[in-house]
Structure 1
Amino acid sequence: MIKIGILLTKQYKLLSLAAILDVFETANKLHTNFGKNQPYSIDLLAFDKNEDNTFRQYSIKLIHSELDYDLVIIPAFTTENLQEAISFNRQFIPWIQNQYSKGAEIATVCTGAFLLGASGLLNGKVATTHIDASDAFANAFPAVKLMANKTVTQDGRLFTSGGATSSFHLLLHLLKIHCGKDIAIKAAKIFAIDMDRNNQLYFGSFLPLRIHNDDLVASAQEKIETNYQDISTIEEMIKDIPSSRRNIVRRFKLVIGITPIAYLQRTRIEAAKKLLEQTAEQMSEVIFKSGYNDPKAFRKVFRKSVGMTPTEYRDKFRTR
């Protein structure tokens, strides 16, 4: 029997934890229905006495116990302040490292990857997380090989997943490894999950940091967002901003996490996405209103940023 330990982190996302429990309990039920032994035992793990009675049917154990696990799962966090989440849950890190050293698999759901990143176990390894948290993850853990487009990653005994429903793809991947493809397919049908989705880029939204204390960077952001159709170089961006090119680029990347040019490109692509979602305008108009003059260049950048062509995106998300 595979022993699963699910961390009851501070600020865990209830939906994330419920999905984990539901999928593995479904695998247990499927085995029972086939007259086989259940493959999983499940514990919830806390680092102090926990008042959470939401999952009272499960055993809640403290991480300083002597129990070892075959699989440790870190659920998603509810907060957008992920550095704070790491700080609140730092006591889990030595235990996670110890479990991994003893041979455990470690899997993270969505932004749970930040806690695993803080452990150092992902250094030099591939990982993913919620697409909208990817910039923050890349800045916090530059030694990790972030694959922001991926729905699920596996690097040895380390597993990560993207946002929301991507957690089901991770859990199905684990079922396939532990229980075989047949059980994974049956679970996929029960939860109505397409097993072949491996890209999450098109679910992303460009949500740049706006609450910060750098007025110079804020001015640059406003200039880009107001004039993205017309400006194309850093010199144009900083024309009326009292700063050198080198200084603005340095400060912008330090505060926002990407360069001004990257910010401009992502602002344009986000504008194009909205036009494709909300209007029936010709593609030439979408391209022009997004600030591009070269259709070939636009399509190349769009596909790289979104993971599909503009036409495919419109077909998938158009609201009218």
Structure 2
Amino acid sequence: MKLSILLTKHYRLLSVAAIVDVFETANKYLEETESEKRFVLHFIGTERHFQLPEQFQKYDCSFFTDLTEPIDLIFIPAFQHTEHMPQNIQDNADCCAFLVSQYQQGVSLVSLCTGSFLLAAAGLLDGKEATTHVEAADKFARIFPQVKLQPHAIVTQRENIYTSGGATSSFHMKLLLIQQYCGRELAVRVAKAFAIDMDRNNQLYFEHFKPSLSNEDELVRAVQTAINQRFSEIKNVEEALDEVPSSRRNMIRRFKQATGMTPIRYLQKTKIEAAKQLLETTNRNILDIMVSSGYNDMKNFRHLFKTFTGLTPKGYRDKYGMRLG
């Protein structure tokens, strides 16, 4: 199989290195048992006179408009900076038509982490399920409402288009591909080599919610500031909206346009983030943490906590809490 890695402008080097490392490891194990490699790695550049990083210069590479040999699969790696995503998309606009053309010729496309933004910009994810880095999910949903975003998902697969979640979730995509092409036994062996737990089915608990204050809308910024400073005492979002000179309907519209979410979702995520921090860093009981984060109903608190993290408060503490004694 010929696996090509698209070196987009502003790609994340670690994302590319992980692709190479995982599939070269798979090749090594295959050579031990079958005496031959299964995967041929190749790079595709998006600039005419691009140069591969030194550690990859042993691999063949092509400028993306000069490809002549058939490819089985193209990886789109993560981008370096999620805060500059519109610029990342604009700087890689020429890749969109290339990816569409390759897909129409039967090539499978695999995005890792925030690489899904480029697939979405090309229109290839319209109407399809997709995932991305959990901390980029709200931005993705705002830019590409026509995509069926699954922010909890580790991987998605639909019609030879694959997307994966962030960071180490991308390893699950590589393991999925190895399993599909070479079988479960090899996938398990590679997973063990990289110390990857194969039972992960949710990435929500990796999110760290710390949104930027709006620079474009002063009223939205005022609501954000009120929530950030007084979330524990604000019982409902109207208490924050009442402080700004605008109708509730207009303020909700402006808030969602500026932040990618409604004010109530912003308030809920702020409260749950505060609870997460206390579960991580203290041994306070869960009832006390619930009250400190602004809730007074345990059933509602547990429900919202699991909605936003995929775990119960106790499960989250078991995973990330302090080990005392």
Give the TM interval when normalised to the shorter protein. Answer: over 0.9
Structural RMSD (CA): 1.2
Q: Which residue of 2 aligns with 1:24?
A: 23
1:129 corresponds, among 102, 124, 132, to 132
1:309 corresponds to 2:308: no
Alignment-mate amino acid for residue 245 of structure 1:
R
Structure 1 residue 278, shift from structure 2 partner: 1.2
Native 8 Å contact 1:249 1:260 kept in 2: yes
Taking a change above 3 Å as real, the CA distance of residues 117 and 134 of structure 1, as seen in their structure-2 partners, is: same
1:63 matched to 2:64: yes
Contact 1:128 / 1:147 at 8 angstroms: preserved in 2? Answer: yes
Counting only pairs closer than 5 Å after superposition, residues 1-320 of structure 1 correspond to structure 2 as 2-48=1-47, 49-54=49-54, 55-65=56-66, 66-80=68-82, 81-319=84-322
The 1-side partners of 2:239 and 2:12 are apart by 43
- Equivalent pair of 1:109/1:167 in contact (CA under 8 Å): yes
C-alpha change, 1:64 and 1:216, in structure 2 (3 Å) is same
| 1:8-53 per-position Cα deviation (integer Å, ceiling 9, x unaligned) | 1111111110000011111111111113431111110012220333
Give the percent of matched residue pairs that are identical in Structure 1 and Structure 2: 46
Q: Matched residues in 2 for 1:211 and 1:245: separation?
A: 18
Answer whether contact 2:214 2:258 (CA < 8 A) is retained.
no
Alpha-carbon offset, residue 211 of structure 1: 4.6
Moved over 6 A (4+): none
The alpha carbon displacement at 1:235 in A equals: 2.6
| Distance in structure 1 (CA, Å) of the matches to 2:209 and 2:227 | 14
For residue 185 of structure 1, report the CA deviation from its aligned partner. 1.0
Change (3 A) 1:52 1:211: farther
Q: Any idea what the Cα deviations from partners look like across 1:66-91, whole Å, max 9, x if unmatched? A: 23311000001101211111111111
Helix, strand or coil at the partner of 2:163: strand
Q: What are the ranges of 5 or more consecutive residues in structure 1 without an aligned counterpart?
A: none
Equivalent AA in structure 1 for residue 19 of structure 2: I
What does the per-residue CA deviation read over 1:271-318, in whole Å, with 9 as the maximum and x for residues that have no partner? 110111111111111111111110011001101110010001011111
| Superposed CA offset, 1:106-130 (max 9, x none) | 0011001100111111111111110
Q: Are the aligned partners of 1:234 and 1:245 in contact in 2 as well (CA < 8 Å)? A: no
SS in 2 for 1:167: helix
TM-score normalized with structure 1 length: 0.97
Structure-2 separation of matches of 1:98 and 1:157:
14
* SS of structure 1 residue aligned to 2:109: strand
CA distance in structure 1 between the aligned counterparts of 2:197 and 2:277, rounded to whole angstroms: 26
Task: Report the Cα distance in structure 1 between the residues aligned to 2:286 and 2:168, rounded to whole angstroms.
Answer: 31
Distance in 2 (alpha carbons) for counterparts of 1:96 and 1:61: 15
| TM-score, scaled relative to structure 2 | 0.95
Deviates more, 1:310-319 or 1:130-139: 310-319
Contact kept, 8 Å, 2:9 with 2:46, in 1: the verdict is no
Given that 1:129 and 1:163 are in contact with CA atoms closer than 8 Å, whether structure 2 keeps it comes out as: yes
How big is each residue's C-alpha offset from its partner over 1:201-251, in whole Å with a ceiling of 9 and x where there is no partner?
A: 100111213252211111000111122122233331122211111121111
Alignment check: 8 A CA contact 1:132 1:207 kept: no
Q: Is the 8 A contact 2:283 2:322 kept in 1?
A: no
SS of 2:209's equivalent?
A: coil
Aligned partner letter, 1:232: K
Q: Provide the secondary structure at the position in 1 that maps to 2:65.
A: coil
Counterparts of 2:9 and 2:34 in 1: how far apart (Å)?
Answer: 38
Asked if structure 2 preserves the Cα contact closer than 8 Å seen for 1:68 and 1:99, the reply is no
Q: Conserved in 1, the CA contact under 8 Å of 2:280 and 2:321?
A: yes
Structure 2: runs of 5 or more not aligned:
none
* Number of aligned residues: 319
Quick one: which amino acid aligns to residue 275 of structure 2?
A
